[in-house]
Each structure stands twice: as structure tokens, then as C-alpha cells.
Amino acid sequence: MELFHGNIIYSKNREKLSEWKDSYLAVEGGVVEGIYPCLPEKYASLPVTDFGEDLIIPAFSDLHVHAPQYPQRGIEMDLLLHDWLHQYTFPLERRYEDPEFAHAAYDAFLDDMVEHGTMHAVIFGTIHREATGYLIERMERMGLHGLVGKVNMDMDSPDYLCETTEDSLRETELFLEQYQGNHTAKPILTPRFAPTCTWPLLKGLGELGRKYQVGVQTHLVESLWEAAQAKKLYPECGCDTGIYEQAGLLGNGPAVGAHYIFAEEEDTRIMKKYGVYAVQCPDSTNNILAGIMRTGALADEGVRLGLGSDIAGASNLGIYSQIARSVQLSKYKVFYEPEGNRIVSLAQAFYMGTKEGGALFGNVGSLEPGYSFDALVIGGIADHFHKLSPVQLLERFCYLGETKHIRARYLAGKKLGTG
């Protein structure tokens, strides 16, 4: 049994934070046993790790991130999506055919992800099976929860990233076979988006999904160009999300649709039917200027939601920053499109980045009894002359926080060697 003391915060539900001031948290076998305002007599003789007035919060979940784009973060942001991909991002992804480059980049990416307090992530690789294999293997060794995909693209892509349909399906099946038995970092099907995938490829991936009972991640109605192009290519499917339903890619495992900005009613009906996560990537929205997700309205309509850093559309891996940006963008949405939209609160955005997103991986993302003790200790953001509540300090961290404010990191009860 391990005991921790501090100000403990986690999401009680979508609308409310659970705040335990000056309390004790008990962990047994890497799992939260309970939280106590006063230390129980049965634990009185045990040592306590005392974090004083620092916050103890759940580790974050990033539901959409491009690991190979990590070297591009914070640069080359002067174009809109289609041109940005073809001029900058695709040439970078080509470099992952070189194992030495891939290993160095993925090592740096994962170390920085943990440094930013993210212990669970849904990750795009590239078309290169060996490089993506290294990424998922290292995540598994680190004990990080992940859904990692070898990307599929067989049309409307540069020659150096355009697979044949047969090669794409064969390499994907080899990837699934090799890593389906992983414990924490598991494979997921990853058609990049409909405009880069032929119908035989999508159907073939649907068959692999059913065969291996594995889910899918992709980009959904991300931009006006992508939404229109998807309907132009597959008009019989009715909407972007309908393409994946008719290809048999939904209902086989976890499903994640990144961005989900220009959705139609039919898209949302299908998302709810299969429990697909819609992932908001606020900083990417600012940089690529695709549009603003109807986050509050989608939550009210019963769509499952998460947050994504979407490196390199965004500039850093901090999901805490995306929590703040989600609140900010909801105000823009309400100001310019008040009909049917509402402001997202800190509690709601924090829920997306912890408990709701974490549910994709099992019992992670909360500090309730029975949840894995995947946690962060946050400090160094208070003013000595002005007292703030724990919830106010959490909000300040989301808006102003840096990795230096994460004073300790725990994964399944084990303290990590960063910070």
C-alpha cells in the first residue's frame, strides 16, 4: 500500500469536478484503493508521500496525434490543410523509411509526450510498417496505453507515400498479426482519410477489422475540402462517416474520428450508433484554420468526445493546453454561431482530456477507486500573496502551465524518472 497527500482533483462526471482538499490517496498494486479526508487508523503506521498543497490529478489522454510529424512542430505553419500536407508534411513522413531516423524521432516523441503528462494516446504512424512497429514496441515497453496505426494511402498521395492496395492490406495484416497480443499498446486500423483511400482498400480494411476485432482511427469531416471530396468520391455513402460504416470499419473495436468539424446529421447518427469518439484538436484548428467543432452541442447530443494535440497541426503535446483552448474556441463558436451552441466549461473540457478520453483504454483517466494510478503532481503555479482554490490552480495550469509545473508522474502506481 502506498499513500499520497495533497489536493486531489478528478472528474466526477462531465459537468462536475471532484475536489478533495488536504486529503490522502491510497494506492495498492498500482490501482487507487480510496481517497480519505483524514488518514484511516489502519494506515496510520504507513509512510506517506506528502505533496503539501500541490495538485494530484489524472494523467492525460491524447486521442489524436501524428507521431511522425513531431519534428515539424512549431514550424511550417503558413498554409491551409491540403497544401500544408503536400508541401511540408508528406515529405517529412517519407523519411520514416529510414529506420535510424524513425527510431530517433519516435524516442524523442514518446519521451516528450510523457514529459507533458500524457500516458494514453491514439497515434498515427506512417505507411512504413517497420517504423510504426518500433513505435508500438517502445510504447509497450514503457507501459503506456496506446492505439497505434500503420497508415493506409493508395490514391491521391505522393508517389513515395502511395501504396498499392494489395501492399497496403498485406502490410497492415502483418502489423495486426505481430502486435494484436500486446498488453497496453495495441494496433488500430488507420486509413488516413477517405480522399486517400480507394474503395477496395477501405473494404479490405473492414474485413481485417472483423477478422482481428480491431478498431479504426481516421480524419472525419475535418475541412470543407475533405468533406466535399469524400462525398464526391463516395456519393452513395451519404456522408463521410457513412463511408466507414459501409466499408465495415465500425463496430469491430474502438473507433476515433479526428476533428469532426463539418458534420451532417447523418454523420452524428452513425457516430452515436457505434460509439465513435469525435476528437477536438483546438490548436490545430487555430493553425490549419479548418473550423471549430460544435463541442458543447455534440456533448448534449450524446457523442463521445476527446481531445487531441494533433502534432504537428499543433505546436506542443500538452493536453492541458488543449483543455484551455477548447473552452476558448467554444466561446468563439457561441459568439459567431449562437444558434444551437454553448460555452464549454473547464470541468467539461477536463473531462474530455482525462476520464472520457481515458475510457477508450480501460480504467484510466480518473482517481476513483478501481482506476489505475496514472497521475500527475502539479505545483509551482500559486502566488504567495493571493490564495487560490485547487480548482483555480488547475485552471491556471491549463492556461499557463509548462512541463516544469509537473513535479511528478506516475504510471500504474510507478513513479517515472522524469521531472
For the chain, how many residues are written? 419
d(CA 294, CA 300): 10
Q: What is the DSSP letter of 416?
A: P
Distance CA 391, CA 12 (A): 13
Tens of pLDDT, residue by residue over 80-113, are 888 899 999 999 999 999 999 999 999 999 999 9
What is the distance between the alpha carbons of residues 298 and 264, in angstroms, rounded to a whole number? 12
Cα-based angle 279, 283, 284 (whole degrees, multiple of 5):
70
Q: What is the dihedral of CA 84, 85, 86, 88, to 10 degrees?
A: 70
Question: How many CB atoms are closer than 10 A to CB 22?
Answer: 13
In this structure, the answer to whether residues 341 and 376 fall within a common structural domain is no
pTM: 0.97
Q: Please count the structural domains in the chain.
A: 2
C-alpha cell at 218: 481516421
pLDDT for the residue 107: 98
Q: What is the pLDDT of residues 357-378, one digit of tens each?
A: 999 999 999 999 999 999 999 9
Q: Whose grid coordinates read 495550469?
A: 397
User: What's the angle, vertex CA 320, arms to CA 3 and CA 282, rounded to 5?
Assistant: 155
Backbone angles phi, psi at 59, to 5 degrees: -65, 160
pLDDT score at 418 = 53
Same domain? For 44 and 84 the reply is no
Instruction: Tell me the pLDDT of the chain (419 aa) as tens digits.
Output: 999 999 999 999 999 999 999 999 999 999 999 999 999 999 999 999 999 999 999 999 999 999 999 999 999 888 888 889 999 999 999 999 999 999 999 999 999 999 999 999 999 999 999 999 999 999 999 999 999 999 999 999 999 999 999 999 999 999 999 999 999 999 999 999 999 999 999 999 999 999 999 999 999 999 888 889 999 999 999 999 999 999 999 999 999 999 999 999 999 999 999 999 999 999 998 888 778 999 999 999 999 999 999 999 999 999 999 999 999 999 999 999 999 999 999 999 999 999 999 999 999 999 999 999 999 999 999 999 999 999 999 999 999 999 999 999 999 999 998 54
Do 374 and 315 belong together in one domain? no
pLDDT at position 290:
74
C-alpha 364/C-alpha 359 separation (Å) is 6
Q: CATH number of the domain that 407 lies in?
A: 2.30.40.10
Q: What is the DSSP string of 150-203?
A: -EE--SSS-GGG---HHHHHHHHHHHHHHHTT-SSEEE-BEE--GGG--HHHHH
Same domain, 370 and 295: no
Give the DSSP per-residue string, 126-142. -S-HHHHHHHHHHHHHH
Domain co-membership, 15 together with 149: no
115 burial level (CB within 10 Å; 0-12, 13-18, 19+): middle
pLDDT digits (tens, 9 = 90+) for 43-63: 999 999 999 999 999 999 999
Distance of alpha carbon 240 from alpha carbon 235, whole angstroms = 9
Per DSSP, what are the bridge partners of residue 219?
258
φ, ψ of residue 2 to 5 degrees: the values are -115, 140
Verify that 43 and 67 share a domain, yes or no.
Answer: no
**DSSP β-bridge partners for residue 406:** 378
The residues pairing with 279 across neighbouring beta strands, listed in sequence order, are: 258, 306
Task: State which residues form the domain around 108.
Answer: 60-361
Residue 135 is part of a domain; what is its CATH number?
A: 3.20.20.140
The answer to whether residues 47 and 172 belong to one domain is no
The reply to whether 25 and 90 lie within a common domain is no
Quick one: 25 and 76 in the same domain?
Answer: no
353 with 394, same domain? no
Residues 188 and 172 in one domain: yes
Residues 32, 71: one domain? Answer: no
Distance from C-alpha of 5 to C-alpha of 375, rounded to nearest angstrom = 13
Q: Please name the amino acid found at residue 6.
A: G
Cβ atoms 352, 365 nearer than 8 A: no
The pLDDT value recorded for residue 419 is 44
